Amino acid sequence: MRGLGETVEKETADQPPSPERRLVNKLINYYEIAIYGGVHIECEEFKALIKQVIDEGIRRRHR
C-alpha cells in the first residue's frame, strides 16, 4: 500500500504529472488508505480533496 503523497502511477522525468492528475492521484491514495486502513485520515480533509477534484473538472470543461 502506498503512503500519502505517493503517486498512483509512475511518472516519467520528462513528463511530470499535470496538476489535475496529481489531485486525482492524491484522491485515489486517500481512498485506498480509507478502505485498507493503516493510516488515520481526516474526514474533512478527504471531503475537501474530493470537492477540489470535482471543481477542477468543472473548470476544465468550461474553458
Beta carbons within 8 Å of 30's beta carbon, 6+ residues apart: 4, 41, 45, 46, 49
Beta carbons within 8 Å of 14's beta carbon, 6+ residues apart: none
Q: Quick check: 35 pLDDT over 70?
A: yes
What is the percentage of the chain residues whose pLDDT exceeds 70?
Answer: 76
pTM value > 0.85: no
Query: Where does the pLDDT of residue 33 fall: very low under 50, low under 70, confident under 90, or very high at 90 and above?
Result: confident
> What residue spans define the domains of the chain?
19-61
Q: What's the pLDDT score for residue 6?
A: 56
Query: Where does the pLDDT of residue 17 fall: very low under 50, low under 70, confident under 90, or very high at 90 and above?
Result: confident
